[in-house]
């Protein structure tokens, strides 16, 4: 299949206004797949949509939505309507609090959990059902090194990203029989506007050798058929910043599948 046959006709890109999200949108549009762009900034979304229409000739719609809101997934699902969504890029996610767990109100942590995990889970459930029915499609879950262990002042962010990692691996195990591709794209330091703003707010210099968003998007789409995990900049059998390599995690899932068959017969 061509990319469009495998992942068309529409892609949902959550967190599409800038950085890696916008890079994914450009790469996907270049393949002739129509895009539903979701983020809070209406101005940035509309500018990107105009750019994609002119550059690639695709159909493009935008939705200004707060992905931390309880009804964010419902808004996206309603906006997609009956469109055939064959690709979901769950790019939105951040640590917007930067505090120890007990130093912020529980409402702020609930919003952070929605942003980094709950909204994505709901979208995967809805669009994943449609992909399985068609026996084609793909989902990319954007993760970070925080997925691999807890850290002071990152309790909810690290916990949510760890959830997405295990969730994505489980989806890969469940949906590959339907030829639906799942990838946890685990990023290192990436040169995004959000990352630069965070460093500048703390008076920190911009590090050298940051990954480019365009390279991240290209590699993510390239690795999508080879899930469930790709650790940025590492070979399949290298652990690097992760406790275990992508190959080792894949082998563990396969072993658990066989163990489950022996116990449950499925």
Q: Using an 8 Å Cβ cutoff, are 233 and 240 in contact? A: yes
Q: Cα dist. 180→68, 87, 170, 177, 186 in Å?
A: 27, 10, 13, 8, 19
The number of angstroms, rounded, from the C-alpha of 60 to the middle of its chain's C-alpha atoms is: 19
Contacts of 219 (CB under 8 A, 6+ apart): 185, 230, 232
Cβ-in-10-Å burial (0-12, 13-18, 19+) of 89 comes to buried
Q: Which domains does the chain have, with CATH numbers?
A: 3-264 (3.40.50.720)
Per the model's pLDDT, the better-predicted residue between 94 and 166 turns out to be 166
3-state secondary structure of 195: helix
| Cα gap 221→213, rounded to integer Å | 12
Instruction: Note the pLDDT tens digit of each residue in 229-247.
Output: 999 999 999 998 888 899 9
pLDDT in tens, 181-228: 999 999 988 888 788 887 787 788 888 889 999 999 999 999 999 999
Task: Give the span between the Cα atoms of 166 and 202, in whole angstroms.
Answer: 32
Specify the DSSP element, H or E, that contains 10: strand 10-14
* CA dist., res. 161 & res. 120, Å (int): 11
Tokens encoding 214: 């365009």
Q: At what angle do helices 42-56 and 19-30 cross, to 10 degrees?
A: 20
Q: Say which residue the tokens 């690795």 belong to.
A: 223
Q: Determine phi and psi for 31, rounding to 5 degrees.
A: -90, 5
Residue 197's pLDDT is 82
* Residues 10-51: tens digit of each pLDDT: 999 999 999 999 999 999 999 999 999 999 999 999 999 999
CA neighbours within 13 Å on the CB side: how many for 81? 6
- Interval 109-139: pLDDT, tens: 999 999 999 999 999 999 999 999 999 999 9
């Amino acid at each position: 299949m061509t990319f469009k046959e495998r992942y068309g006709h529409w892609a949902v890109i959550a967190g599409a206004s800038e950085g890696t999200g916008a890079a994914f949108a450009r790469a996907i549009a270049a393949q002739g797949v129509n895009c539903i762009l979701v983020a809070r900034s209406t101005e940035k979304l509309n500018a990107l949509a105009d750019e994609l229409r002119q550059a690639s000739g695709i159909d493009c719609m935008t939705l200004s939505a707060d992905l931390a809101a309880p009804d964010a997934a419902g808004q996206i699902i309603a906006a997609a309507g009956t469109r055939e969504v064959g690709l979901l890029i769950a790019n939105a996610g951040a640590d917007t609090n930067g505090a120890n767990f007990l130093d912020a109100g529980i409402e702020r942590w609930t919003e952070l959990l929605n942003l980094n995990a709950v909204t994505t889970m709901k979208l995967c459930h809805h669009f994943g059902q449609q992909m399985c029915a068609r026996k084609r499609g793909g989902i990319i879950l954007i993760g970070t090194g925080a997925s691999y262990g807890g850290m002071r002042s990152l309790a909810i962010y690290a916990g949510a990203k760890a959830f997405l990692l295990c969730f994505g691996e489980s989806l890969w195990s469940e949906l590959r029989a339907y030829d639906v591709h799942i990838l946890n794209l685990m990023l290192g330091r990436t040169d995004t506007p959000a990352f630069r703003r965070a460093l500048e707010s703390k008076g920190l210099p911009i590090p050298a050798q940051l990954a480019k968003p365009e390279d991240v998007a290209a590699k993510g789409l390239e690795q999508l058929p080879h899930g469930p995990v790709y650790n940025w900049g590492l070979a399949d059998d290298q652990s690097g910043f992760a406790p275990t390599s992508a190959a080792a995690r894949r082998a563990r899932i396969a072993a658990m599948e066989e163990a489950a068959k022996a116990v449950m017969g499925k």
